[in-house]
Amino acid sequence: MRANRSTEPLTVAELVRFGPLSRARAFATGHLERPVSGVSLISELEKARQCEPDTVLVVHPTAALGIWALESALRFAWERNASCLVAPSGIAVTGSTQQLAERLRMPLFVVSDPAKSALELAAAIADTEAARARMTTRCAVLFSERENMRDIVGVINTEVPGVTAALLTADGHVLAGRSTVGRDQRNANGDGHRVEVPVPGPGGRPLGTLVARLSTWSPAWAETVETILRLARAPLAASIAGAQLALSHRAVKDRLLLETLLRDEHAAPEADGAAPRPPSPADEGVSAERIAREAGWRIDGSHVAVFLRPGRLDEPGRESATTGVIASWQDAFPRTDLIPYEQGWVAWFTDNAAEPRDVADLVRHRLLSSRIPLPLSVGVGQPGEGMSGLRRSVAEAALAAAVAVRAGGGTIELYAELGPRAVLACLPVGEIADAARILLAELIADPKADVLISTLAAFLDCACSTGQAAARLGLHRNTMLGRMERIRSRGVDLEAPEHRLALHIACYALMSTRQPT
């Protein structure tokens, strides 16, 4: 499962800060600046020998035969220049293993379910932009929660990996943040890994400069950091003015407000990958609701959420398209706000009689048929009552939109009709299909490959019951057995339970990326 993007990869630190490794027990964390471009999940120790450079080496419990095997995997990871090692929690890491990880400068993470972590990592790595967007969003949320400039700059220093930031006056005096950043500025010949953003004061006069020093530098990363610095400007200015809500920019305000409003939604789903947040005072949510009401948002009653996102996975980022999309939306639905959120935009219809299917029809009719700057994929959630219902509906709509993206622009998916399939939306099916074509090369080479893959999928769907699968496919039992035999003869081992999940996912990926015939 390799990322095939041309954008430069994530670092281990980012995966720890806001990605799937945030909940892992970590060792040798002084070396997190390694780039990550893929995931290698090994179920046999010797397979670690073939681990690709710059990948996360994930050790399946079947390969983790003891602490020695873990140390051996650390060694292979080091020899192969892997980014870090992820190991199952069944093995107690002792002092010497930690010491070895330090010696090899190989970060080691212990997780309860390596296979699940591998999937999450693959998804995060495949979607680097989204991962960075999530970090940006998270910073924005935290900025909005901080009231003084020291705390706001502190968010950058604690949340953005490998970055130290400070707010400096024109003459280099440190107003907030790490003084080392300022010292660097005086040494004008510093390493050059710096991003600077001017910060306006209360009266419009320049107050100073927000400066960030990057331990690693790349154009996209610098851009991300700059975005974060820019996001910090308004809260900084606001904090200085002493009026937190004196936000100048409507979109940022709406977005921050929505983030705050939906924040519980972040922590709830397991696969979300967001870093755990500090528990927030209960009254904060209440005050967010009050602000939302004051802003004219409808948060009482029954809501149906709609989630819009760029119609194709490889579409450029949402930021550039936001203005056009919001303008189109307001043409179509003048009474309903569309708010930037995560990888797309969110709106909701509040009407006790609103039916998801009606909403979908409306959106299709008014929006998708009109002139919009880019193809959109749309997800529609189930109706939800009040604030908690809205959170759920938004989450459902986002999942449905993720499924819709698979089918290309202009598709609308209803969460209600997806069922558990929604979870599959998170899989990077393209990459999995690539891998599956290699894994199942023999099967795919068969002239009847499509039939056999469908048969295999049905067999796995029916919990390996040939009888049920035959009934489902409308086949005679003997035909079914014949096909199974043919599948086996093509090198597919159906007897090993530990292979079944991988096979199942491979079939799903192949079937969802199948060219229309």
Partner 1 sequence: MTATGVAADSEAAAPAQTISAEDLPAMVAGNQLLCSAIGAAGVDGVTVCVEALLRRHGPVPLVGLDSLPDDALCASVGAVGAFAPLLELPPCGDEFELAVGALEARIGRRLDAVVSLNAAGPNALFPVGAAAALGLPLVDCDGMGRILPLIHQTTYALAGLPVTPLAGASQTGDVVVLDTGSRRADALLRGVVDASGGFMICAMYPATAARLREAAIEGSTSRILRVGGLLTSVSGRGALLAGLARTVGARVLAHGRVVEVAGVGRTEGTRHYPSMPSSIVLAEPGEAGRIIRLEAQNELLLALIDGAVAAAVPDVLCMLDRHKLRVVGLEGVEVGDDVDVLMVPAAPMWHTEAGLGLAGPRAFGFPVSHPSEGGRP
Cβ 45 to partner 1 shortest distance, Å:
5
**Nearest residue (CB) to partner 1, 56 versus 228:** 56
Binding range to partner 1, per CB under 8 A, among 1-9, 39-47, 52-60, 501-509: 39-47
Binding of residue 94 to partner 1 (CB under 8 A): yes
DSSP 307: E
Contact 5, 220 (CB under 8 A): no
Binding of residue 65 to partner 1 (CB under 8 A): yes
How far apart are the C-alpha atoms of 433 and 430, rounded to whole Å?
A: 5
Amino acid at residue number 513: T
Contact 492, 444 (CB under 8 A): no
Residues 6+ apart with CB under 8 A from 327: none
Q: Which of 10, 21, 104, 443 binds partner 1 (CB under 8 A)?
A: 104
Q: Which of residues 254-293 bind partner 1 (CB under 8 A)?
A: none
Q: Which of 6, 66, 205, 438 binds partner 1 (CB under 8 A)?
A: 66
Cβ 114 to partner 1 shortest distance, Å:
17
How far apart are the C-alpha atoms of 239 and 155, rounded to whole Å?
A: 14
Smallest CA-to-CA distance from 48 within 87, 16, 101 is with 87
**Nearest residue (CB) to partner 1, 39 versus 45:** 45
Smallest CA-to-CA distance from 152 within 136, 162, 165, 161 is with 165
Contact 443, 491 (CB under 8 A): yes
Cβ 84 to partner 1 shortest distance, Å:
15
Contact code string over 431-460 relative to partner 1, x by CB under 8 A:
------------------------------
**Total residues found in the chain within this entry:** 517
Cβ 67 to partner 1 shortest distance, Å:
6
In the chain, what are the helix, strand and coil shares in percent, each to the nearest 5?
Answer: 50, 15, 30
Task: Please provide the distance, in angstroms rounded to a whole number, between the alpha carbons at the two ends of the chain.
Answer: 26
Cβ 65 to partner 1 shortest distance, Å:
7
Q: Which of 99, 112, 180, 388 binds partner 1 (CB under 8 A)?
A: 99
**Nearest residue (CB) to partner 1, 69 versus 222:** 69
Cβ 30 to partner 1 shortest distance, Å:
16
Binding of residue 197 to partner 1 (CB under 8 A): no
How far apart are the C-alpha atoms of 342 and 131, rounded to whole Å?
A: 10
Four-CA torsion 310, 311, 315, 320, nearest 10 degrees: -30
DSSP 2: B
Q: Which of 44, 191, 355, 498 binds partner 1 (CB under 8 A)?
A: 44
Backbone dihedral angles phi then psi of residue 267, each to the nearest 5 degrees: -80, -20
How far apart are the C-alpha atoms of 378 and 345, rounded to whole Å?
A: 10
**Nearest residue (CB) to partner 1, 62 versus 157:** 62
Binding of residue 95 to partner 1 (CB under 8 A): yes
**Nearest residue (CB) to partner 1, 77 versus 347:** 77
Binding of residue 103 to partner 1 (CB under 8 A): yes
Backbone dihedral angles phi then psi of residue 348, each to the nearest 5 degrees: -145, 145
Task: For residue 477, give the H/E element and its range.
Answer: helix 477-489
Contact code string over 45-64 relative to partner 1, x by CB under 8 A:
xx--x-------------x-
**Nearest residue (CB) to partner 1, 27 versus 221:** 27
Binding range to partner 1, per CB under 8 A, among 44-52, 183-191, 318-326, 345-353: 44-52
Contact code string over 159-188 relative to partner 1, x by CB under 8 A:
------------------------------
Cβ 46 to partner 1 shortest distance, Å:
4
Q: Which of residues 71-90 bind partner 1 (CB under 8 A)?
A: 71-76, 78-79
Tally of CB atoms within 10 A around 219? 9
Applying CB under 8 A, the residues found at the interface with partner 1 are 44-46, 49, 63, 65-68, 71-76, 78-79, 94-96, 99-100, 103-104
